Amino acid sequence: MRCLPAGHGPTVDAMRIERACYLVAAVLFASGLAHLGVQAVLGGPWDGPVSWRKPADFGMAFGLTLFAVTWASTWIDVRPRRAVLTGFAAASVVEVVAISVQAWRGVPSHFNTTTPLNSAFAFSAAAGGAVIIVTTLALLRAAFRPSDATRGQRLAVQVGFGSLLVGLVIGAVMIAIGTAQARTVSLDAAYDAAVVLVPAHAAAMQGILVLPILAWLTGFTSWPEPARTRVTALGCAGYLVCAGTIVLEAFLGFDGFDPASAPVLGTVVAAAGAALLVGAGVATLAGLDRGSRLRQTAASR
């Protein structure tokens, strides 16, 4: 489904860059899956600064994110569209390539400036991250411009790009902390210091993957538009509560992904937020079934 800016129509150039981004996203995701296969065949540590998990995670994560960003961008008035999407896609490729090459070389990718070549990869990844932040800012700004998207769709895209930006900024904070530790203490200390914020970084990155899909699916129900907007808003609120709690816990030194180590109150609040999001999704799926039955009944008459 394509929701275009008010008064605009799809251009050949816009559709071409979208197709290119979808293709790049598929290649990145396939790269991540391939590294899971490498892990299964070659073995080796799953955690730590040198592992096959990192290129697997980065490949799949950037593939999914690029796909979601490209799709969600069709609902908003992005200017200049080609430059923004090209920048995001190119930076995603740089990130995945840098992580993957260093994994194959058997050396750490992040915070590793021990040689000129390692420094080149580390700084390239950092530059790619900066480009992704800038392009996400442009996308978030565009999400608040008038468009033909429904209120629920605009809300989902606004929250999705907003949370993505938060996740990217947290990633930049992790890089800053790790770099300082690597220069003053050791590379191991850098990873230990930065890994604390991984749950916050991961939680904030998921909104753009989930919320636009929820808003899109409500469009296939028989509900009136206000009801669709309310369900989407419920899902957005649930996600913000869940992700926000995990982010707060991470900055307080707790792992929100581990209920055994996180505060009980935080776990309860995060679970309540997740329940709201899941509830919105379940209600939407149930609405799809009811809408289908209504259409089938009407057709039979």
Predicted confidence (pLDDT) per residue in 154-201, tens digit:
999 999 999 999 999 999 999 999 999 988 988 888 998 999 999 999
292 neighbors 261 (Cβ within 8 angstroms): no
| Whole-angstrom distance, CA of residue 84 vs CA of residue 250 | 31
Residue 111, Ramachandran bin (φ over 0: left; ψ between -120 and 50: alpha; else beta): left
| Whole-angstrom distance, CA of residue 103 vs CA of residue 46 | 12
Q: What is the pLDDT of residue 100?
A: 96
Q: What is the largest CA-CA distance in the chain?
A: 76
Rounded to the nearest 10 degrees, what angle do helices 264-300 and 207-218 cross at? Answer: 30
Q: What is the pLDDT of residue 49?
A: 83
pLDDT 10s digits, 81-109: 899 999 999 999 999 999 999 999 999 99
DSSP per residue over 6-73, as a string?
Answer: TT----HHHHHHHHHHHHHHHHHHHHHHHHHHHHHHH---SSSSS-SHHHHHHHHHHHHHHHHHHHHH
- Asked if residue 266 has pLDDT above 80, the reply is yes
**Confidence band for 110, pLDDT divided at 50, 70 and 90:** confident
Q: What is the pLDDT of residue 259?
A: 87
Q: What is the pLDDT of residue 300?
A: 47
Q: What is the DSSP letter of 130?
A: H
- Looking at every residue in the chain, the average pLDDT score rounds to 91
- 1-149 maps to CATH 1.10.8: no
Buried b (16+ CB within 10 A) or exposed e, 84-108: bbbbbbebbbbbbbbbbebbeeebb
Nearest residue to 170 via CA among 66, 248, 258:
248
Tokens of 298: 């009407």
55 neighbors 13 (Cβ within 8 angstroms): no
Q: What is the pLDDT of residue 260?
A: 87
Please indicate, yes or no, whether the overall pTM of this predicted structure exceeds 0.75.
Answer: yes
Domain ranges of the chain: 1-149
